[in-house]
Amino acid sequence: MPAESLHEVRFPSESRPYREARNELLIAERDLRRQIERVAALRRALPPGGEVREDYVFEEVGRLSAAVPSAEPVKFSDLFRGKQALIAYSFMYGPAMEAACPSCTSILDGLDGESQHVNQRASFVVIAKSPPARILDHARARGWTDLRLLSSANNKYNADYYGENAKGEQQPALNVFARHEGKIFHTYCTELMFISGDPGQDPRHVDLIWPLWHLLDLTPEGRGTDWRPMLKY
């Protein structure tokens, strides 16, 4: 691929072999951008899924600044807050777990700051099965301030929407729901977790919302195969 065929930008001391290889990669990146949009269009075009027939009652974790943790009941139907769509992330932090999932925590560390932007267009909530006070303790330790945190300890949401498996083990699922003609429908789940990945790959079903791996994938070493985020370093 000729060096001049795509754009005229050049970096200090870059070689011709580098530019030729970079142009080849640039074409692949352009194709990936197009494919991402094609997949997003297919996702948007999905017909309504199953109707949500139970108005689950959650306990909403109180504000981080509160001296005494509070847990206010809130119905599933009230989570939309005037928006058409509801994005619900199932956070792996069950009552039997000694600590919160480090990977889920890494995801939510990034989304805490983004949630205020997301909530301009869609309602975003984080659901965990631990009691509210336990969730709040973890949120305070992480410094989260903007995430809307809910406890599903007293309802069947996790089991119905695969925030846990048949054994009660917690799973990191992301689900989307939408209002349609006065009813609420399930529209999307990160179902890649139910099919096997390619050799050497994790399911990567929530990578789209996980900044960590996108950054590491830009480095020569990549994300690697044996490193995972931790709660403490």
Bridge partners for 157 per DSSP: none
Using CA atoms, how far apart are residues 214 and 223, in angstroms rounded to an integer?
9
| Residue of higher predicted confidence among 1 and 73 | 73
Element (H, E) at 160: helix 157-160
Please check whether residue 188 is in contact with residue 43, taking contact to mean a CB–CB distance below 8 angstroms.
yes
pLDDT tens readout for residues 56-65 = 999 999 766 5
Give the DSSP H or E segment for 19: helix 16-44
Residue 53 is encoded by which pair of tokens?
């027939």
Cβ atoms within 10 Å, residue 3: 15
pTM (predicted TM-score): 0.93
Reported as a single tens digit per residue, the pLDDT across 113-143 is: 999 999 999 999 999 999 999 999 999 999 9
